[in-house]
Amino acid sequence: MSDLRSPLARARGLGSARDGLHHWWAQRLTAIALIPLVVWFAISLVMLSGADYDVVRAWIGSPLVMVLLILTISVGLHHGQLGLQVVIEDYVHGDGWKLALIVAMRFIAVIFGLAAIVAVLRIGFGG
Partner 1 sequence: MSVANRPAHRPLSPHLQVYRPQLTSVLSILHRATGIALSVGALYLATWVIYAAASPEAYSLFQGFNTSIVGRIVLGGWLFCAFYHLSNGIRHLFWDAGYGFELKDAYRSGWIVVAVSLIATAASWVVGLRLV
Binding site for partner 1 (CB under 8 A): 28, 31-32, 34-35, 38-39, 42, 45-47, 49-50, 52-53, 56-57, 60, 69, 73, 76-77, 80-81, 83-84, 87, 108-109, 112-113, 115-116, 118-120, 122-123, 127
Smallest distance from the beta carbon of 90 to partner 1, in angstroms? 9
Residue whose CB is less far from partner 1, 102 or 119: 119
Smallest distance from the beta carbon of 4 to partner 1, in angstroms? 21
Residue whose CB is less far from partner 1, 2 or 53: 53
CA neighbor of 116 nearest in space, from 64, 82, 77:
77
Smallest distance from the beta carbon of 47 to partner 1, in angstroms? 8
Cα separation of 62 and 68, whole Å?
A: 10
H, E, C per residue of the chain: CCCCCCHHHHHHCCCCCCCHHHHHHHHHHHHHHHHHHHHHHHHHHHHCCCCCHHHHHHHHHCHHHHHHHHHHHHHHHHHHHHHHHHHHHHHCCCHHHHHHHHHHHHHHHHHHHHHHHHHHHHHHCCC
Smallest distance from the beta carbon of 21 to partner 1, in angstroms? 13
Residue whose CB is less far from partner 1, 71 or 84: 84
Residue whose CB is less far from partner 1, 12 or 47: 47
